[in-house]
């Protein structure tokens, strides 16, 4: 069964995702020994311009650092060297970010502006990227009703797995910041952010308090 969630903020997407998993998810112990609850094939979508930093200073700092390592060449390289993988560095392999920009700039209708993040060398490793790739598209859409249709940059992110309580908040913020950065280079607004998640899950025990807080707070 596939699931779809739409929203207008990151807290709304988090709340709806956690609630869905609590109500519909299967519980089992994963390969790391964590008790998780999971739904498969979840799609989330929201306007990129509605994605703002988390109110918690620590979470906000994590989001800022994640976004910076996607947008900045030096930060991307450093993260790629410090960790087993870094999305910004994976995206820049064989000049992937600049090639994608050129595609979008030279052919506004292209369907080929895709940046792979998961590579063959990652298969079988202990730590592998959760995100598989990023698909950028320029399309004429109504983003603001008072303006009407305008050319915007949409982003669809594909993830094989996403922890939906904490990690997703930084992921959505970081990738929408990357989307806005790419859009600014093209001199157009960022449009919709959509993410397809193969395994959308929560950690039943270690995240119990945060899960309870999210469900009580709502959005």
How many Cα atoms sit within 13 Å of 76 on the Cβ side? Answer: 18
Summarised one tens digit per residue, pLDDT across range 178-198 is 999 999 999 999 999 999 999
| pLDDT tens-place string over residues 16-27 | 999 999 999 999
Give the H/E segment covering residue 197.
strand 190-203
Whole-structure pTM over 0.85, yes or no? Answer: yes
Q: Is 136 left (phi over 0), alpha (psi -120 to 50) or beta?
A: beta
The CA-atom distances, in angstroms, between 83 and each of 24, 128, 130, 171 are 34, 11, 14, 17
Nearest to 38 by CA among 16, 11, 18: 18
User: Domain 3-217 falls in which CATH fold?
Assistant: Thymidylate Synthase; Chain A (3.30.572)
Residue 56: pLDDT over 90 = no
Per-residue confidence (pLDDT) for residue 73, from 0 to 100: 96
81 class by beta-carbon count within 10 Å (0-12 exposed, 13-18 middle, 19+ buried):
exposed
Q: Give the mean pLDDT of 53-67.
A: 90
Q: pLDDT tens across 132-164, in order?
A: 999 999 999 988 777 789 999 999 999 999 999
Distances (CA, A) of 207 to 32, 37, 121, 212: 15, 11, 31, 9
Q: What tokens appear for 142 in the block?
A: 């109504």
The residue assigned the tokens 């390592």 is: 69
| Mean pLDDT of the residues in the chain | 95
DSSP secondary structure letters along 117-128:
-S-GGGTT-SS-
Find out whether 75 and 81 touch, Cβ atoms under 8 Å.
Answer: no
């Amino acid at each position: 069964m596939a699931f779809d969630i739409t929203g207008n903020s990151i807290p709304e997407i988090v709340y709806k995702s956690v609630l869905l998993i609590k109500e519909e998810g299967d519980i089992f112990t994963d390969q790391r020994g964590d008790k998780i609850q999971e739904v498969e094939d979840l799609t989330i979508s929201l306007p990129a311009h509605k994605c703002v930093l988390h109110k918690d200073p620590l979470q906000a700092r994590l989001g800022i650092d994640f976004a910076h390592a996607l947008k900045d060449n030096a930060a991307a390289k450093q993260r790629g060297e410090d960790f087993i993988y870094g999305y910004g560095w994976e995206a820049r392999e064989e000049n992937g970010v600049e090639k994608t920009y050129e595609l979008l700039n030279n052919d506004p209708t292209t369907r080929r502006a895709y940046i792979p993040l998961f590579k063959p060398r990652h298969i079988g490793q202990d730590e592998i990227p959760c995100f598989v790739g990023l698909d950028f598209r320029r399309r004429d859409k109504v983003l603001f009703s008072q303006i009407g249709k305008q050319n915007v940059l949409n982003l669809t992110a594909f993830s094989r797995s996403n922890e939906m309580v904490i990690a997703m908040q930084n992921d959505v913020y970081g990738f929408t910041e990357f989307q806005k950065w790419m859009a600014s280079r093209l001199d157009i607004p960022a449009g919709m952010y959509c993410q397809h998640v193969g395994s959308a899950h929560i950690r039943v025990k270690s995240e119990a308090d945060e899960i309870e807080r999210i469900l009580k707070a709502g959005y």
